[in-house]
Chain A
Amino acid sequence: MANKQISQMGLPKSIANVFAARNVFTAKALSLMELRVQNEHLAGHLPTHMKGLDEALCGGIPFGVLTELVGPAGIGKTQFCLKLSLLASLPANYGGLDGHVIYIDVESKFSSRRLIEIGVKSFPEIFHRKEMAQEMAGRIHVLRPASLSEFTESLQQIKVSLLQNQVKLLVIDSMAALVTGEFEHGAPRQKTLGWHVSFIKSLAEFSRIPVVVTNQVRSQSRDETCHYFFQVQSWNETIEDRTRHDSHLVAALGINWAHAVTIRLVLEAKSGQRFIKVAKSPIAPPLAFPFNITSSGILLLSDDGIELTGPDINTIHCQGLSLRFCWGNLQKNIKWMPKTTIGHY
């Protein structure tokens, strides 16, 4: 495909050959657009079936880039991932990608029972038939790497199966759990994370699939209220800032990671209500949608998002919601898993 694009650019043969040899992908922006509209599902998006969010993201979770879900424990990140896995496995006429899903479940949060429940409640016409339910669930391959090095190995194998074109979605739940705890905070971790980020991004791009990664939160330490040298602050202001930031959480994995993801969806709880916010996106405005977790997955309470101005879209709140009794915690104790959902790589 890269070669076809290069030939359309009207480059002289010598340069075209060099670029092709070095795998430099190049195209005119228009042909990029046309190619995607012609060949890809909804011009390259996986609809989430949450109308407001899909509209904001111009169709859904985009192909070829990293989408991050970040939020406090129990807020609904795994629920979102389960729903997306299901949606990707559905046939095209139900709005799915009719493909396989690789689900990397680091913290053993994947619950196939919950997956089937979401399926039955959202798409009863498919899931009430046992062989259909088995086929859909059979398309979701769950991996449980015990360490970062195992994960790295499986990434290489994933690359091979991506080349076979059957996998349509990659979910990593969660990236933070893989990386934290293996290293001391600081340079070695950043370097390894950097390699993984580059590799996963290139996987997403050459196979043109959506990649969803979940991230944890941690509390913001005082030292992190960062400004540039030219932003002079008065002493009073600084104190105010500190108290404001003490109650906030920030995404884990650092600023390099924040730069590397293309779309960041923040899930948070404010005054007892859960919100999903489009915190970083090249195309969507900074909107927040209130949502609840129901038996059929995640339900937006309003399709008209609330537009937030300023850097507040990035802050992560965890107020007023008792997150102890949530799906993640309950399901952790259930060891039973139907055999069809576990793939061996």
Chain B
Amino acid sequence: MRVASHSHRLDGSAGGCGTVNGAQTAWDLLHEEAMFPRITTSCEDLDNILGGGINCKEVTEIGGVPGIGKTQLGIQLAINVQIPVDYGGLGGKAIYIDTEGSFMVERALQIAEACIEDMSECGGLLRKDFQAFQLKMHPNNILENIFYFRVCSYTEQIALINYLDKFISEHKDVKIVIVDSVTFHFRQDFDDLALRTRLLSGMALKLMKLAKDFSLVVVLLNQVTTKYIDGSFQLTLALGDSWSHSCTNRVILYWNGNERYAYIDKSPSLRSASAPYSVTSKGIRNSASNCKRIKSGVVHLVISRVGHG
């Protein structure tokens, strides 16, 4: 509705070129983007290569080898989305779709507690609303705002994603959907690869639509596989070549020596870049070697936002 009325307004004014019904101009899109802040990952370096954090209205795919920290990042984002906008979040709730059983509540609690601690630390730097905020954010409240879904087969996964738009219409404060992992049920037991490709692309389109209609952040976690290219085996994200086109952004988490790194493999607006990060008892943070300057990404973000606000 909003878009249509906008184009009518344009028609009414200077007359310009005939606007196509339902289209938005690039200028409008630019302003719209500014209205939707990104979600911080709690690692400043990672946020930087992401242009500030994970973006709304887009599907971001994050993949890596086992143990690199995909689920950790997923849980961190499910918690960070709840942070008020001024502090790097979206002040909303999270949907966590667990296809592998890797979500551990105890870990979510640990990360939630650390997040609140970090907030309190930088609270002194801020003027307004801090008291009110502190009362609202208790680790249990954070857990309460994560809607957890466990699906055990690919049919359940697809059914659930198809019903998400009804669910989110009823729960308008959901701001992020995380699927951990989108791969698991599509890797076992699929005889008909053509069917798999169709199902996956249907699912991707559905998720993209959700992201756009409800202004959500959609994060899909993916596994890796090996591919024989140019005479040697290489690591690559799973689910095949056609899937690799489905998501807006693609981030690969990998080991570089003894450090964890993230690499922007594909993005319409971000440059290919790598950044180190670490997984600590508090969740995702800057890598130890880069920790000297600022303690956590959240603090930095807060400072930068307060400066402008």
Residues of A within 8 A of B (CB): 9-12, 14-15, 18-19, 22-30, 32-33, 36, 43, 58, 62, 64-65, 191, 194-195, 197-198, 201-202, 204-205, 223-224, 226-231, 255-256, 258-262, 264, 279-280, 282-283, 285, 309-314
18 residue pairs A–B, Cβ–Cβ below 8 Å: A9-B147, A12-B166, A15-B166, A28-B143, A28-B144, A30-B140, A32-B105, A226-B226, A226-B233, A226-B235, A228-B234, A229-B229, A255-B66, A255-B226, A259-B181, A260-B100, A285-B280, A309-B258
Given contacts A9-B147, A26-B150, A310-B258, contact A195 B188 (CB under 8 A): yes
Nearest chain A residue, comparing its CB with the CB of B234: A229
Q: Are A201's CB and B187's CB within 8 A?
A: no
Most buried by A among B110, B149, B152: B152
**Hey, which chain A residues are within 8 Å of B225, CB to CB?**
255
Q: Are B281's CB and A285's CB within 8 A?
A: yes
Nearest chain B residue, comparing its CB with the CB of A227: B235
**Hey, which chain A residues are within 8 Å of B108, CB to CB?**
29
B160-186 interface code vs A (CB 8 A; 1 in, 0 out):
100100110011000000000101110
**Hey, which chain B residues are within 8 Å of A311, CB to CB?**
255, 258
Q: Among A12, A24, A62, A260, which residue has its beta carbon within 8 angstroms of that of B149? A: A24
CA of A24 to CA of B149, assembled, Å? 7
Tell me the minimal C-beta distance from B290 to chain A in angstroms: 15
**Hey, which chain A residues are within 8 Å of B90, CB to CB?**
none
Flag whether B106 is at the interface (Cβ < 8 A): yes
Q: Are B234's CB and A11's CB within 8 A?
A: no
Q: Are A32's CB and B148's CB within 8 A?
A: yes
**Hey, which chain A residues are within 8 Å of B116, CB to CB?**
none
Tell me the minimal C-beta distance from B239 to chain A in angstroms: 12
Q: Are A22's CB and B156's CB within 8 A?
A: yes
Nearest chain B residue, comparing its CB with the CB of A311: B255
CA of A14 to CA of B152, assembled, Å? 21
Since A224-B233, A226-B235 are in contact, a sample of 11 more A-B pairs with Cβ atoms closer than 8 Å, ordered by chain A residue number, is A9-B147, A24-B149, A26-B148, A26-B150, A28-B145, A29-B96, A194-B188, A228-B252, A230-B252, A311-B255, A311-B258
Q: Are B100's CB and A201's CB within 8 A?
A: yes
**Hey, which chain A residues are within 8 Å of B150, CB to CB?**
24-26, 205
Q: Among A24, A259, A312, which residue has its beta carbon within 8 angstroms of that of B66? A: A259
Q: Are B170's CB and A228's CB within 8 A?
A: no
Q: Are B184's CB and A260's CB within 8 A?
A: yes
Q: Are A202's CB and B184's CB within 8 A?
A: no
Tell me the minimal C-beta distance from A309 to chain B in angstroms: 5
**Hey, which chain B residues are within 8 Å of A194, CB to CB?**
187-189
Nearest chain A residue, comparing its CB with the CB of B278: A309
Q: Are B263's CB and A27's CB within 8 A?
A: no
Tell me the minimal C-beta distance from A71 to chain B in angstroms: 17
Q: Are A228's CB and B263's CB within 8 A?
A: yes
Flag whether B67 is at the interface (Cβ < 8 A): yes
Q: Are B109's CB and A33's CB within 8 A?
A: yes
Within 8 A of A (CB), among B260-309: 263, 265, 272, 280-281
**Hey, which chain B residues are within 8 Å of A29, CB to CB?**
96, 103, 105, 108, 143-144, 146-148
**Hey, which chain A residues are within 8 Å of B159, CB to CB?**
18, 22, 24
CA of A195 to CA of B152, assembled, Å? 12
Tell me the minimal C-beta distance from A104 to chain B in angstroms: 20
Q: Are A197's CB and B188's CB within 8 A?
A: yes
CA of A256 to CA of B256, assembled, Å? 22
**Hey, which chain B residues are within 8 Å of A204, CB to CB?**
101
Flag whether B80 is at the interface (Cβ < 8 A): no
Most buried by A among B156, B188, B254: B188
**Hey, which chain B residues are within 8 Å of A231, CB to CB?**
254, 256
Tell me the minimal C-beta distance from B25 to chain A in angstroms: 35
Flag whether B6 is at the interface (Cβ < 8 A): no
Tell me the minimal C-beta distance from B185 to chain A in angstroms: 8
CA of A15 to CA of B105, assembled, Å? 25
**Hey, which chain A residues are within 8 Å of B233, CB to CB?**
223-224, 226
Q: Are B224's CB and A255's CB within 8 A?
A: yes
Given contacts A22-B156, A26-B149, A228-B254, contact A314 B67 (CB under 8 A): yes
Q: Which 7 A-B pairs have the closest CB atoms?
A: A194-B188, A310-B258, A30-B143, A29-B146, A25-B150, A30-B144, A29-B143
Q: Are B96's CB and A256's CB within 8 A?
A: no
Tell me the minimal C-beta distance from A123 to chain B in angstroms: 28
Tell me the minimal C-beta distance from A81 to chain B in angstroms: 21
Tell me the minimal C-beta distance from A335 to chain B in angstroms: 38
**Hey, which chain B residues are within 8 Å of A36, CB to CB?**
105
Q: Are B143's CB and A23's CB within 8 A?
A: no
**Hey, which chain A residues are within 8 Å of B171, CB to CB?**
10
CA of A149 to CA of B234, assembled, Å? 34
Given contacts A24-B149, A311-B258, contact A228 B235 (CB under 8 A): yes
CA of A309 to CA of B187, assembled, Å? 30
B218-257 interface code vs A (CB 8 A; 1 in, 0 out):
0000011110010011111000000000000000101111
Q: Among B104, B167, B181, which residue has its beta carbon within 8 angstroms of that of A62? A: B104
CA of A260 to CA of B188, assembled, Å? 11
**Hey, which chain B residues are within 8 Å of A282, CB to CB?**
71-72, 75, 102-104, 107
